[in-house]
Chains A and B, each alone.
Chain A
Amino acid sequence: MQIIEEIKNNELVSNPSEIQKICLDKLKLNPLPNVKSELWRLSNKSKFSSFLDYSHKNKESKVCIPYKNSSQNIIRLIIGENSKINLEEENYSIKELKDSEIVDYIKKNISTFDQNDHWSDLLNHCLSSKKNILGLNISGNKIPSIEILSASSSDSFNAKTLILFFKQDCKVDLLQINLGDENSSLSQSTYLCLEENTSVNHGVVSYGENKSNLLNSLNVIQKAKSSYSLGSLHFKFNYARFEIRINQLEGDAKTIIKGIQITKNKDQIATYTKMEFNGPNGILDQVNKSLADDKSHAVFEGTIIVPKTAQKTDASQLSRNLLLSKNAKIDTKPQLEIIADDVKCKHGATISQLNEEELFYMRSRGLTLEEASKLQLSSYFQEIISCIPVSKDRWNLLDKLLEET
């Protein structure tokens, strides 16, 4: 674990920034997460080691956009490659945060971090240089779709940070794409702050190449009357971990989370979600799907926290999983922590295989087993894909997925 050794020996960063110093100090004493804790116990140790084995000093990433440039009105940003962004249009504005705002915001967050819970963010802030931090203030309600790309380079460890402030009444589609190159590790930490009456439709699409690894952390703060919808897809990683923490700060907000992770070969992909309601009348609709083939391992752990202040919360969390091979493994653990006494909360988990009767029905109409399986999988994916703000001419995600599976 090259990176951990460098942290211990004070060799990780030569001229650390203020944030890097704070995080390095925190990690120096205890450089690794507690592997016995609930959040880390299922993490494959050798894969986690390989995640930390790449040097972050090799080279900067270069994004190869995986599709043709679109004629559509899209604002495309690449973390680490863009020059200044300052858009002031009639209906909207997108402006870069000042360096001091970024530093203050991250420092404020770090001060509240539990080291084990936010280990991924701490590591990210140790390694993410100023160039690789993108911070934006976004306001307006006729904003073109925003697409933000983040990538790793082969034989390297790259860390990228994204901070987005959505101002009051803002309404936007945001697509985040994380691309893992061959033999690489990418650490992506994202912070979204939704002010009152904002509506953010957020897609996260992460896919890698041969032996790429990803640590993807997403922290969302929602103020009252905000609406946040997340559609996520993770596939083709040797090791990937997606941590989602959403806090409805004052309640009275709506959150939709629809995610899918697809594992093949000996991959391990895990999703951890923590949804906190800190006020009344909050709504959550969450569905997480895993599809595991070959000898792969998919993990989902989701926690919903409903304290006494969060009366009239209406939350639903479902984990629906498909095992495509007898050697694949799926661990799932949806859980509720409820103190409030006037709430509607439900959760559940299913693990099944492709439905034999559905397959026979389709085959009895002349569809081959392959065609029938493809149709069945396509319906399985559709529920999630439809929540990702992706335009069809750029991304035919469903076709890509079906090719892969």
Chain B
Amino acid sequence: MQSKTKELNPVLEVNNLFASTEDLPILKGVNIAVNPGEIHAIMGRNGCGKSTLSKIIAGHPSYKITKGEIKFTGQDIQSLEPEQRAQSGIFLGFQYPIEIPGVSNLEFLRVATNARRKFLKKEELDTFDFEDLVREKLELVKMDSAFLSRSINQGFSGGEKKRNEILQMALLEPKIAILDETDSGLDIDALRIVASGIKKISNKKTGIILITHYQRLLDEIKPNYVHVMSDGQIIKTGDSDLALELEKYGYEWTDNFLKKQ
């Protein structure tokens, strides 16, 4: 089944992608194309391959592409290292942001921002200029500047970690942002803050993929397309109403699509 929404010049194009980890096949022919300014949602049962797809696009070394291709702004990115993908504008918001004790959040954000700026041939920021920039972005996710002096994600609550991910997205200004279950573990207020941050950052040039289990995020951020993933494939694509149907009927309803294939 095809789920392409290929029209203009997609910022991200995944064509017939097969991938495995430790010889275990996980993706079994994924197709998706995201144009600038579009918001796509990917939904599906646990273990269907959603997070794997996001990690493979970001270049996680534990996964091996066995067939197919990933194109970013028209270029095949298979040979690129994770940092080259990030510098060129691919952003992955982690489902479980990693805690790195001892590494200052502020310094990490500065090095990451400058890596992206260097790629964009913009002037790198010194500590003072970067602090001005980061304080402006902190407003978007309603984070206190005290977070900057702490170690990366260490001791952060679930909500704080997710807000830190969106802060990074705001600083890096990616062309494609894949947000893996950014809504999981968030209370209603935190969800609204995160969703509002994402909306403020999104623009006509940025494509967004939201990986989620719940309609509540999609109530805040209305997607252009909703894809249902099952057993390593996208089995159905529709508009935002598809998420409502999923909420109503559950994933058993989508099993019928597989049977019809």
Contact = CB atoms under 8 A, between A and B. Distances in A.
A368 B116 CA distance: 11
B172 A364 contact: no
A143 B103 CA distance: 33
A379 B151 contact: yes
Nearest to B154: A379
B118 to A, nearest CB: 9
A376 interface: yes
A383 interface: yes
B115 interface: yes
B102 A380 contact: yes
A366 B172 contact: yes
Contact of B60 (A360, A366, A369, A371): A360
Nearest to B102: A379
B16 to A, nearest CB: 24
A21 to B, nearest CB: 51
A361 B102 contact: no
B258 interface: no
B116 A375 contact: no
Given A360-B60, A361-B97, A367 B102 contact: no
Contacts of B53: none
Contacts of B214: none
Interface stretch (B86-94, B121-129, B197-205): B86-94
B103 A357 contact: no
Contacts of A383: 102
Interface residues of A, number: 22
Interface in A277-328: none
A365 interface: yes
Contacts of B253: none
A363 B103 contact: no
Residue of A365, A372, A379 most packed against chain B (CB within 10 A) = A365
Contacts of B61: 356, 360
Contacts of A358: 98, 100
A378 B102 contact: yes
A371 B115 CA distance: 11
A382 interface: yes
A360 B83 CA distance: 9
Contacts of A368: 81, 83, 115
A375 to B, nearest CB: 5
A369 B83 CA distance: 8
B167 to A, nearest CB: 11
Contacts of B193: none
B242 interface: no
B103 A376 contact: yes
Contact of B111 (A361, A371, A376): A371
A276 B224 CA distance: 69
A362 interface: yes
Contacts of A360: 60-61, 82
A363 to B, nearest CB: 4
B100 A364 contact: no
Contacts of A369: 81, 83
B47 interface: no
A375 B98 CA distance: 14
Interface of B: 58-62, 81-83, 85-87, 91-92, 94, 97-98, 100-103, 107-108, 111-112, 115-116, 119, 151-152, 168, 172
10 contacts: A357-B98, A358-B100, A364-B82, A366-B86, A367-B115, A369-B83, A379-B101, A379-B102, A382-B102, A383-B102
Interface of A: 356-358, 360-369, 371-372, 375-376, 378-380, 382-383
